[in-house]
Amino acid sequence: MTTPLTRIREQLKVVDLLFEVRDARMPNSSAHPASQELFGHKPKIIVLAKYDLADPEAVAGWIRHFEAQSNQRAIALALKLSKSKNKLIDLALELTAEKREAQKKKGLLPRPVRVCVVGLPNVGKSSLINWLIGQKKAAVADRPGVTRGAHWVRVHPQVELLDTPGILPPVQFRGEQSVKLALCNIIPGDHYEIDEVATLGLNLIYSIKPGGLEAYAAPQGNAPTLEDVAKARSCLGQGGKLDVKRAAGIVVNDFRTGKLGRVVLDPPTWREDYREEIAETDAE
């Protein structure tokens, strides 16, 4: 029986480079926990999709962090816009230059770089493929797992793309990471309680940007509750009771569409000043 793991291993045998798609709003949490084990030393470019919804300064920090590691590059993209395609292709050629030069020295005929797009379900893999191809040859939908079929597409004279994305094996996410994935629509809706995710999401966003929710429904000095949101949006049910479930849906949708501001949910854990902030908090 073919599984996501066996399919990805077969794909890795024939590609030179990976485009690993992650969500720019959570550059670390949207990586598969076993990605290093799965990909090994295969060169990769981390593509941070939905950049238009993320904090540019925080994303820039994550890109610097990723590019400090060997054999990989990183780029942030808003796939609704056509720009930056050449930048991504240039990164791909830069990262495979040594291998292409080695093939040339061996007298092998030059061939295009072979690329596979990998990532968690619904993180934006098919959207990236369509964006590179320039026309919708791969199926796209706003839910996990919709791609079928496979063949190579020439996206540049020196780059070929496997038009079927590599879907990483399913894994059980827990705690804060699962909340972030649910907020960003990467975990299917039947895997979580929307009011719980909305509440934890409001608290998380408030902890990152305390002033960012003041105009939304936030009481002074605290993160807004679902009751606050229900009052602000006139979400009323039978008997005039506050409809917190409807308010939760509004919160989650507003986050996904950027109405709660551009935010990155993953803290910059590699930063020295961040470690100092955590140490000071722990001391208190």
Q: What average pLDDT does range 70-79 have in this prediction? A: 93
**Closest residue by Cα to residue 266 from 177, 171, 174:** 177
Please give the DSSP secondary-structure letter assigned to residue 51.
Answer: G
The rounded distance, in Å, linking the Cα atoms of 142 and 146 is 9
Q: Could you tell me whether strands 152-156 and 159-162 are parallel, antiparallel, or unpaired per DSSP bridges?
A: antiparallel
Q: Could you tell me whether strands 159-162 and 44-49 are parallel, antiparallel, or unpaired per DSSP bridges?
A: unpaired
What CATH code would you report for 4-167? 3.40.50.300
Task: Kindly tell me if the per-residue pLDDT of 281 is higher than 70.
Answer: no
- Looking at residue 188, what is its pLDDT? 85
pTM: 0.87
- Looking at residue 146, what is its pLDDT? 38
The first and second tokens of residue 47, run together, are 């593509």
- Looking at residue 259, what is its pLDDT? 92
The segment(s) of the chain belonging to CATH 1.10.1580.10 are 193-283
The rounded distance, in Å, linking the Cα atoms of 95 and 43 is 7
Classify burial at 211, counting beta carbons within 10 Å of its beta carbon; exposed 0-12, middle 13-18, buried 19 or more: exposed
- Looking at residue 247, what is its pLDDT? 95
The rounded distance, in Å, linking the Cα atoms of 226 and 203 is 11
Cβ contact 59:74 at 8 Å: no
Q: Which of 27-36, 81-90, 123-132, 250-259 has the highest mean pLDDT?
A: 250-259
Q: What average pLDDT does range 41-63 have in this prediction? A: 95
Q: Mind listing the pLDDT tens digit for each residue in 216-261?
A: 776 667 889 999 999 999 999 888 899 999 999 999 999 999 999 9
Q: For residues 219 and 165, which has the higher predicted lDDT (pLDDT)?
A: 165
Distance of CA 21 to the CA centre of its chain: 6
Task: Kindly tell me if the per-residue pLDDT of 135 is higher than 80.
Answer: no
The segment(s) of the chain belonging to CATH 3.40.50.300 are 4-167
Q: What average pLDDT does range 210-215 have in this prediction? A: 78
The rounded distance, in Å, linking the Cα atoms of 175 and 173 is 7
What CATH code would you report for 193-283? 1.10.1580.10
Q: For residues 57 and 281, which has the higher predicted lDDT (pLDDT)?
A: 57
Q: Mind listing the pLDDT tens digit for each residue in 169-208?
A: 667 788 899 999 999 999 888 889 999 999 999 999 998 9
- Looking at residue 147, what is its pLDDT? 40
Q: What average pLDDT does range 109-120 have in this prediction? A: 88
Task: Kindly tell me if the per-residue pLDDT of 209 is higher than 70.
Answer: yes
